[in-house]
Amino acid sequence: MSLAQEILSDANAEQNARSYLVAYYSDMHKDAYGVRGRPCECSSNEDIAEAIASFHNDVADIIRQERADEVAHAEAVKVATTPTEWTLAELF
């Protein structure tokens, strides 16, 4: 079962599937882009579930990239702050 299908299944278990999906979409849009969004009124529940799954993937990619950036930054700091001992003879 794909993520979109799981989301749709969870929504259908709720009393109002459409409201559940719209609220979920809004939350995921905020997580991904920093602002709340609303799906088009003409979108089907399946389309909204697909969009939510896409947001999940986007947020996961952002988190992976941030973690990779943190590791790269830590390595750069380690290299930049590694003490090296120089003698005056080596400098001149």
Tens of pLDDT, residue by residue over 42-60, are: 889 999 999 999 888 888 8
Burial of residue 37 (CB within 10 Å: 0-12, 13-18, 19+) is: middle
Q: Are 47 and 4 in contact (CB under 8 A)?
A: no
Q: Give the type of residue at 41.
A: E
Q: Global pTM?
A: 0.69
The whole-number pLDDT of residue 91 equals 62
Measuring CA to CA, which residue among 7, 10, 6, 18 is closest to residue 45?
A: 18
Mean of the pLDDT values across residues 9-30?
A: 92
